[in-house]
Structure 1
Amino acid sequence: MTAAVSRWMLAAALATAGVVAFSLRDQFDLPALEAAVGGLGAWGALAFAALFATGTVLFLPGSIFGLAGGALFGPFWGTAVNLAGGTLGATLAFLVARHLAADWVARRAGGRLKQVIEGVEAEGWRFVALVRLVPAVPFNIANYALGLTRIPLGQYVLATAISMLPGTAAYAWLGHAGRSALAGGDEAAIRYGLLGLAALAAIALLPRLIRRVLTRPAAAVPEWTEPAALAEAIAGSDPPTVIDVRSPDEFTGPLGHIPGAINLPVDALVADPGLTGAARDRPTVLVCLTDRRSSRAAAILLGAGHQRLTVLRGGMKGWNAAGLPVGGTTVPAEATPREKRA
């Protein structure tokens, strides 16, 4: 039997089983599941997990199994059993799709589809987690669709199990609450039901939260320059403004300062970024003892609208270590005109 024939036979068997399962879907309710696993004793949990996995492969609604698991095994063990069955079913569907059609899709995909697949593969487990936490694509369809990519199996399984946990726990709590209500345990049912609904509400808010995180503009990051490059720029026809953010005592201390530098301590810049005045529109290099305070000052100034900021890597220690010239006379901050404010 050739590989192609075996693939077609597997696909036909799955399709047949799926049609049968869909036609009998009305019989997959809590009493039927309880009857199927209730008499198996300690093996009941394993049998239920296997049924859950089979149902996932055959496109049966996972919510039925999720609620039934909580009703049959309680909120804690129900979550564990449901997570095992759901993850196993998702993995089997992933492997089936990869075996049946991943190579064919890889050969035939082109244009926009190829770009999408490559983007998904580049994100790997992050995309899997996103699909699980933000169920824009139905769970059963996503399992097969992800199998058509080259996402590593280990990443897929781990991201699926972790990302399914909140929703799985919510359905188990709700299933247990419903079972308690039917048994007359009204107080417990209310408690478990509220917990389950709270978890589902939190999951419903995840898409908005994730969109906010993904669309949040990245914080501006200053560029860096080395002492030799800065010395060359200072000697050029359009030298940058050099702002030394150390204290005045350090500015005139043993390490000296870069000739022509302006002394604006970092605390003063934090309090009033406008002190830089006209330097806002010019290439500006920030300097301190090393580069920690200058990096902090750069973050403040970038937030205030400066666009052309550079931090001297290694600060005055690096400048001196490179044997570059230093000055010992303080240059007043007024050397840089301040912007007029009303």
Structure 2
Amino acid sequence: MRSKALRWLLFALLASAISLTILYRDHIDAGALQQWVEQAGPAAPLLFMVIYAIGTVLFLPGSVMTLAGGALFGPVLGTFYNLTGATIGAVLAFLIARFFTSNWVEQKTGGHLKRLKEGVENEGWRFVAFVRLVPLFPFNLLNYALGLTRIPLLHYLIATYLCMLPGAIAYTYLGYAGREAVAGGEGLIQKVMLALALLAVVAFLPRLIGRLRQGPTMNIDALRERLNKEDELLLLDVRTANDYQDKLGHIVGSLNIPLEELESRLAELTPYLEKPVALICTTDRRSKKAAQILGSQGFADVHVVIGGMTQWNKNALPVHTTTETSDHLREIQ
């Protein structure tokens, strides 16, 4: 009982500290923080990393800290200190979430949320790497959310440190360039342009990774062969419900999720994060858009069926023209 009471007290203190930090975050003076760190002398890097780690746990904006690190320590050392401080904070938040609530989550989670959690755990370090490179959720919140899973701590730490590097380099250099702009340093235009180029690269990462994860295209013959041989393949039809039942019909065993609903129903597809998904529509236009969505959300083996149901019908292959419930997805759930 005493241990449980102590845990609740610690949780209440942490929640209060986070609430106060969020409430007064707009009053934080970045200039005063930089001055305070500079006055620490040789201990400045260590003090900065400690502040960054605590700020991460308490939901301070990481971008502000990263810019400050670049201004204080330059592009090279600043990147190292920023990345190390952010990773320490991320690990602390991960461990705090696991200490306080992981057992409760294991007992209470069910339905779609349980399947989503299991899908993330099956992805493991790959999921951590993906969301660090392509930030789908706020950084501070994600640290706590991942602590609710059974992803190994070492995998989480390594993937976090390595995959936050591109963003850390870009924002650290931006902070450095900002300091140079204020000080009127030499080569200012080149430094600003380089900072903007680094930010552009980071901004392009989600689209690039999404394209890399789309996988190759698939023709009708290849689709038919894989449907006959491969039980794990999900055939996802992204046409509207009316088109799914229309004269072109649909393929037996396919799952119909219209493109317009795909993003809101991604939790239903979590079991297929690392399994093959074939996308089909009337031609292949909607399928290509769906592939971009799935690729950017971490699905690793996505294929666009070229020609779609139009080509399937031209090949005189069997179709159904009435809606049938797909048992394919349900079998693995």
Which band: TM-score by shorter chain? 0.5 to 0.7
Stretches of structure 2 lacking an aligned partner (at least 5 in a row): 227-333
Provide the residue aligned with 1:153 in structure 2: 153
8 Å CA contact 1:133–1:163 kept in 2: the answer is yes
Of the two, which has the highest radius of gyration? 1
Query: 1:158 Cα deviation (Å)?
Result: 0.3
Shift of 1:3: 3.5
Structure 1 residue 6 displacement after superposition: 2.6
Tell me, in whole angstroms, the C-alpha distance in 2 between the residues paired with 1:5 and 1:41: 41
> What SS is found at the alignment partner of 1:149?
coil
Letter in 2 for 1:33: L
Secondary structure of residue in 2 paired with 1:215 = coil
CA–CA separation in structure 1 for the residues paired with 2:39 and 2:201: 36
**Partner residue in 2 for 1:88:** 88
Name the residue aligned to 1:203.
202
Separation in 2 of the partners of 1:142 and 1:188?
A: 38
SS at match of 1:59: coil
Gaps of 5+ in 1: 224-342
Per-residue displacement from partner, 1:291-319 (whole Å, max 9, x unpaired)?
Answer: xxxxxxxxxxxxxxxxxxxxxxxxxxxxx
Alignment correspondent of 1:216: 215
Task: Give the alignment of 1:48-127 within 5 angstroms.
Answer: 48-127=48-127
Asked whether the 8 Å contact 1:170–1:195 carries over to 2, the reply is: no
Q: What RMSD in Å do the two structures reach over aligned CA positions?
A: 2.2
- Tell me the residue number matched to 1:194: 193
- Number of residues of Structure 1 aligned to a counterpart in Structure 2: 224
Alpha carbons of structure 1 residues 178 and 110: separation in structure 2 relative to 1, 3 Å: same
Give the match for residue 273 of structure 2. none
CA distance in 1, matches of 2:9, 2:153: 24
Identity over aligned pairs, percent:
54
Q: How high is the TM-score relative to the length of structure 1?
A: 0.62
Aligned-partner SS, 2:164: helix
- Tell me which amino acid in the other structure corresponds to 1:80: F
Partner of 2:285: none
Indicate conservation of the 8 Å contact 2:170/2:202, yes or no: no
Q: Is the 8 A contact 1:29 1:64 kept in 2?
A: no
Superposed displacement of residue 201, structure 1: 1.2
Give the residue type in structure 2 aligned to 1:217. P
Task: Tell me how far apart the structure 2 counterparts of residues 131 and 5 of structure 1 sit (CA, whole Å).
Answer: 35
User: What amino acid maps onto 2:89 in structure 1?
Assistant: G
| Structure 2 counterpart of 1:280 | none
Relative to 1, partners in 2 of residues 1:189 and 1:17: Cα closer, same or farther, differing over 3 Å? Answer: farther
CA distance in 1, matches of 2:22, 2:127: 29
